[in-house]
């Protein structure tokens, strides 16, 4: 329904463009029937090109011998090992970590209380106890240790950079440019090239996480500094403050809550990436999920996925509460309580170092295995009961839509697909989109994984169409109706905080291993962000404009199609853009569950050393696809009118 609206609206705006695109697609299909099978650049699973072999051979030369990368790796490694020996791994000649579970729970709850409030402190204690009861204490602590290491390093880099970008216009422009580019790259693609430099293991995982998690903190710190009211800064200067005094006494304190939002996003991104980094041998819960996914053990995967969600919720709530806390001097009563709490924490740590029951999480209570069994039972039941239906849906969609689309993309000669894509880019965004399209297509061919890229593209396009349809419908609904927004938004927020791995688990149960599973997971993964952006765009339409439309007697449908959607057009384009990127990331992760193509190539590259180069090339191809799709959708966005930059 909403998709129709957008068509109507595109037609109203520029009828010729859509006609041209339609003709282009018809010509392509016609040409496909004539030319199919020619120049399709196929490459079998174990086949490699010269480029791939070259990458494989030069792996050690670039990575291990280089002193700079080795130094970075060893420093990061030491930090990770330090944190692991503190909370998760046997350390310093003892069979248990320095701080046992009781100590960790006490410290975490105390920090949650001190920075947030008592509610999130209770949540923290309960959440940690729960993952312990699941039998995943050590894995959870490994994940936590990696996350903390990555977050610490991220913030160490991101906050000063953010301050710099907040103070200097030039730095802000450069930073925005780089961060925009970084955000268009799917998470998964950082991993492949990084292993080339830092080998596989915790260090590479931490560095990949750092790269992925730092941008939000940079962005929000810069934004926070820049949105301090200029009068407060002027007031400070007018009283004769030095630059340092203005920064420490005015800018930083006034930016605090926004910076905390940035830290929250950094933590969530880090957690999500740390679990994905299981692919390059990072320890922790991701490893458990990955192994279970590979053996199709839905029960165990669900149990570990649940632990990730619990940790994500705890981290999210605590940092959100910390951001909401007003910056006021603590009352005497609170100070006394904080002091008493600190003593309690010390006692708990002492217990956890003295008694085995407080050091090692008791394993007698097997909640985890029960969850796994129940999840497996439910899966079997669902497969038995709905299997016919869900598998039917899967097969219908696969046969009816996915296969023809994939055939069109993979069966056409590469130059035909290239020509269609470049023409499409040129129609939508003139040379600004056409030039990147030419470059990306050329490089995609050069990577040697053209056909796999086309398979991935087919899944991505199909999932994106669904995401945009669902996202627009939900977004318009939530944007127009406050009550719906109130209900939907927490669900969307929860959806966004979950690491991508987790999405695969239920769909694996419903649809088995297939391309369709990855598409379904990608839809669920990308719908929240798309919906949110659309809803915000619709809400940002000035109330007066909507009232004016209502006052001339427009129907709801007319208000939506003639006023709200056109005015929110930029937001909708952004929503499509973000939807595409999210879908691409998930489709690639879906390579693990039978979606094959680029995702599988990358995963195989990690696993089999002789396929290393091919995996790297596939990683590169993912980046190229991402850039290609991003450029084309960005170019389709209307330009903002009237750049009245006021000094």
Partner 1 sequence: MTAQLEYPDIDDDNALLSIQGLWKVFGPKAQRVPRRPELAALDRAALAAKTGCTAAVRDLSFNVAPGEVFVVMGLSGSGKSTLVRCLTRLIEPTAGSLIFEGEDLRAADEKRLRELRRSKFSMVFQHFGLLPHRKVLDNVSYGLEVRGESKPDRRRRAQEVIDLVGLAGNEHRYPDQLSGGMQQRVGLARALANDPDVLLFDEPFSALDPLIRREMQNEVVRLHREVGKTMVFVTHDLSEALKLGDRILLMRDGAAIQLGTGDELVGAPADDYVRDFVRDVPRADVLTLRWIARAPRDGELLDGPELGPDLLVREATRLVLESDRPVKVVDGGQLLGVISPEEILAVVADPADSHWSAQSSVRPTD
Member of 44, 50, 95, 240 binding partner 1 (CB under 8 A): 240
Distance of closest approach, residue 249 Cβ to partner 1, in angstroms? 7
Other CB atoms within 10 Å distance of the CB of residue 279: 25
Contact status: 221 vs partner 1 (CB under 8 A): no
Member of 36, 89, 241, 496 binding partner 1 (CB under 8 A): 241
Contact status: 645 vs partner 1 (CB under 8 A): no
Contact status: 245 vs partner 1 (CB under 8 A): yes
| Residue 485 CB partners (closer than 8 Å, separation 6+) | 478, 479, 535, 539
Distance of closest approach, residue 234 Cβ to partner 1, in angstroms? 6
Other CB atoms within 10 Å distance of the CB of residue 81: 16
Options 91-99, 100-108, 233-241, 316-324: segment touching partner 1 (CB under 8 A): 233-241
Question: Given the complex with partner 1, which of 180 and 234 has the nearer CB atom?
Answer: 234
- DSSP string spanning 170-195? HHHHHHHHHHHHHHHS-THHHHHHHH
Contact status: 253 vs partner 1 (CB under 8 A): yes
**CA–CA separation, 536 vs 48, rounded Å?**
46
Options 241-249, 277-285, 339-347, 470-478: segment touching partner 1 (CB under 8 A): 241-249
Question: Given the complex with partner 1, which of 254 and 309 has the nearer CB atom?
Answer: 254
**CA–CA separation, 149 vs 201, rounded Å?**
14
Member of 34, 67, 68, 239 binding partner 1 (CB under 8 A): 239
Question: Given the complex with partner 1, which of 231 and 384 has the nearer CB atom?
Answer: 231
For residue 310 the two structure tokens come to 């619990």
**CA–CA separation, 208 vs 66, rounded Å?**
18
Distance of closest approach, residue 127 Cβ to partner 1, in angstroms? 31
Contact status: 226 vs partner 1 (CB under 8 A): no
Nearest Cα residue to 312 out of 127, 36, 97: 127
Member of 17, 53, 256, 569 binding partner 1 (CB under 8 A): 256
* # binding residues, partner 1 (CB under 8 A): 23
Cα four-point dihedral sign 449, 450, 451, 453: positive
Contact status: 333 vs partner 1 (CB under 8 A): no
Place of tokens 């299981």: 278
CA distances from 308 to 82, 104, 127, 271, 520 (A): 22, 17, 10, 8, 21
**CA–CA separation, 52 vs 30, rounded Å?**
34
**CA–CA separation, 289 vs 302, rounded Å?**
8
Options 172-180, 272-280, 327-335, 341-349: segment touching partner 1 (CB under 8 A): 327-335
Distance of closest approach, residue 216 Cβ to partner 1, in angstroms? 23
Member of 33, 50, 65, 238 binding partner 1 (CB under 8 A): 238
Contact status: 332 vs partner 1 (CB under 8 A): no
Distance of closest approach, residue 643 Cβ to partner 1, in angstroms? 13
Please, what is the Cα angle at 202 between 198 and 206, to 5 degrees?
80
Contact status: 327 vs partner 1 (CB under 8 A): yes
Contact status: 232 vs partner 1 (CB under 8 A): yes
Contact status: 231 vs partner 1 (CB under 8 A): yes
Q: What b-and-e string marks burial along 132-148, b requiring 16 or more CB atoms within 10 Å of the CB?
A: bbbbbbbbbbbbbbbbb
Q: By the 8 A CB rule, do 319 and 267 touch?
A: yes
Question: Given the complex with partner 1, which of 124 and 236 has the nearer CB atom?
Answer: 236
Other CB atoms within 10 Å distance of the CB of residue 238: 9
Options 194-202, 227-235, 312-320, 381-389: segment touching partner 1 (CB under 8 A): 227-235
**CA–CA separation, 565 vs 569, rounded Å?**
6
Options 194-202, 234-242, 303-311, 524-532: segment touching partner 1 (CB under 8 A): 234-242
Contact status: 173 vs partner 1 (CB under 8 A): no
**CA–CA separation, 141 vs 136, rounded Å?**
8
Contact status: 180 vs partner 1 (CB under 8 A): no
Contact status: 237 vs partner 1 (CB under 8 A): yes
| Residue 437 CB partners (closer than 8 Å, separation 6+) | 421, 422, 424, 425, 426, 628, 631, 632
Q: What is the DSSP letter of 638?
A: P
Member of 242, 295, 354, 608 binding partner 1 (CB under 8 A): 242
Options 30-38, 237-245, 413-421, 568-576: segment touching partner 1 (CB under 8 A): 237-245
Contact status: 416 vs partner 1 (CB under 8 A): no
Options 213-221, 251-259, 294-302, 375-383: segment touching partner 1 (CB under 8 A): 251-259
Options 57-65, 150-158, 235-243, 364-372: segment touching partner 1 (CB under 8 A): 235-243
**Contact residues for partner 1 (CB under 8 A)?**
229, 231-242, 245, 249-250, 253-254, 256, 327-329, 647
């Amino acid at each position: 329904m909403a998709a129709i609206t957008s068509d109507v609206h595109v037609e109203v705006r520029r009828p010729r463009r859509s006609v041209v695109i339609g003709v282009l697609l018809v010509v392509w299909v016609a040409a496909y029937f004539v030319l199919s099978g020619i120049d399709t650049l196929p490459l079998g699973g174990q086949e490699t090109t010269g480029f791939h072999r070259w990458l494989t051979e030069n792996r050690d030369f670039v990575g291990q011998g280089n002193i700079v990368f080795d130094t970075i790796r060893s420093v990061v490694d030491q930090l990770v090992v330090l944190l692991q020996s503190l909370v998760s791994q046997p350390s310093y000649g003892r069979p248990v970590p320095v701080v046992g579970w009781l100590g960790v729970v006490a410290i975490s709850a105390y920090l949650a209380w001190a920075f947030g409030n008592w509610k999130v402190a209770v949540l923290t204690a309960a959440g940690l106890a729960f993952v312990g009861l699941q039998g995943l204490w050590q894995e959870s602590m490994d994940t936590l240790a990696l996350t903390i290491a990555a977050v610490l390093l991220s913030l160490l880099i991101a906050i000063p950079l953010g301050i710099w970008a907040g103070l200097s216009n030039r730095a802000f422009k450069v930073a925005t440019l780089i961060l925009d580019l970084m955000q268009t790259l799917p998470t998964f693609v950082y991993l492949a090239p990084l292993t080339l430099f830092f080998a596989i293991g915790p260090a590479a995982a931490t560095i990949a996480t750092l790269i992925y998690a730092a941008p939000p903190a940079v962005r929000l710190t810069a934004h926070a500094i820049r949105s301090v009211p200029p009068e407060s800064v002027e007031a400070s200067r007018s009283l004769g403050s030095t630059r340092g005094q203005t920064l420490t006494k005015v800018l930083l304190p006034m930016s605090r809550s926004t910076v905390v939002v940035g830290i929250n996003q950094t933590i969530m991104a880090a957690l999500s990436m740390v679990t994905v980094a299981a692919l390059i041998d990072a320890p922790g819960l991701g490893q458990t999920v990955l192994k279970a996914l590979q053996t199709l053990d839905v029960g165990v995967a669900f149990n570990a996925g649940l632990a990730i969600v619990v940790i994500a919720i705890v981290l999210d709530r605590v940092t959100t509460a910390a951001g909401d806390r007003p910056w006021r001097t603590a009352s005497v009563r609170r100070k006394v309580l904080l002091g008493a709490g600190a003593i309690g924490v010390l006692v708990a740590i002492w217990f956890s170092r003295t008694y085995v029951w407080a050091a090692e999480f008791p394993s007698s209570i097997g909640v985890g295995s029960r969850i796994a069994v129940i999840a497996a039972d439910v899966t079997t039941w669902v497969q038995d009961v709905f299997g016919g239906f869900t598998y039917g849906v899967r097969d219908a969609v696969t046969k009816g839509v996915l296969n023809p689309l994939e055939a069109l993309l993979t069966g056409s000669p590469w130059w035909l697909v290239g020509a269609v894509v470049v023409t499409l880019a040129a129609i939508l965004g003139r040379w600004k989109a056409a030039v990147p399209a030419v470059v990306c297509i050329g490089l995609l061919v050069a990577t040697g994984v053209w056909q796999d890229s086309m398979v991935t593209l087919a899944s991505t396009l199909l999932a994106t169409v669904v995401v945009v349809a669902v996202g627009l419908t939900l977004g318009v609904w939530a944007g127009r109706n406050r009550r719906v927004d109130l209900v939907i938004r927490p669900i969307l927020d929860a959806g966004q905080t979950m690491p991508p791995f987790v999405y695969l688990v239920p769909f694996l149960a419903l649809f088995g291993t297939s391309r369709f599973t990855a598409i379904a997971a990608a839809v669920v993964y990308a719908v929240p962000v798309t919906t949110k952006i659309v809803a915000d765009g619709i809400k940002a339409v000035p109330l007066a404009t909507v009232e004016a439309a209502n006052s001339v007697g427009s129907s709801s449908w007319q208000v939506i199609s003639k006023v709200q959607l056109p005015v929110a057009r930029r937001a909708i384009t952004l929503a499509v853009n973000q939807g595409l990127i999210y879908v691409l990331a998930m489709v690639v992760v879906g390579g693990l569950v039978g979606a094959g193509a680029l995702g599988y190539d990358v995963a195989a590259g990690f696993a089999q050393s002789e396929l290393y180069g091919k995996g790297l090339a596939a990683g590169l191809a993912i980046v190229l696809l991402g850039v290609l799709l991003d450029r084309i959708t960005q170019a389709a966005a209307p330009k903002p009118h009237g750049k009245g930059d006021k000094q």
